[in-house]
Amino acid sequence: MSDETSVKAPESGAGSGQSGESRPSGGGYQGNRPAGAPRPAGGPGGRGKFFRRKKVCKFCTEKIDAIPYRDVRLLQGFVAERGKIVPRRLTGVCTTHQRRLTRAIKQARNIALLPFAARH
């Protein structure tokens, strides 16, 4: 055929699905956001349904210094149903109180106030 209306595929990266446009190097696509700026809330588009509040240590706000190992109701809030101790990033407890909390949970487990593992 003498028509030259067919489009040639780009020579570099023909199999990778990239077109001839250039992208910024050094990680994922950033859009209009500057390199050091924080990401918008709610993922792409910045329209998040939920506002995540900064987690504050429960023990610091209530000024609880010593965490009693006998207070099973308090400790159960920091133990998952499988028996694992919930990490700081999920509970919002500060490091010093997380260490004290871990020690209290382990003491309560040793004297059989809390289970080591979940029941089947």
Q: Check: CB of residue 105 under 8 Å from CB of residue 67.
A: no
Euclidean distance between CA atoms 8 and 104, whole angstroms: 69
Euclidean distance between CA atoms 98 and 86, whole angstroms: 10
Question: pTM of the entire structure?
Answer: 0.57
pLDDT (tens digit, 9 = 90+) per residue, 14-72?
555 555 555 555 555 556 766 766 666 655 666 667 777 788 999 999 998 899 999 99
CATH class of 67-110: few secondary structures
Q: How many helices (H) and strands (E) does the chain have?
A: 4, 0
Distances (CA, A) of 97 to 1, 57, 88: 79, 8, 10
Q: Is the dihedral of CA 64, 65, 71, 76 positive or negative?
A: positive
Residue type, 69: Y
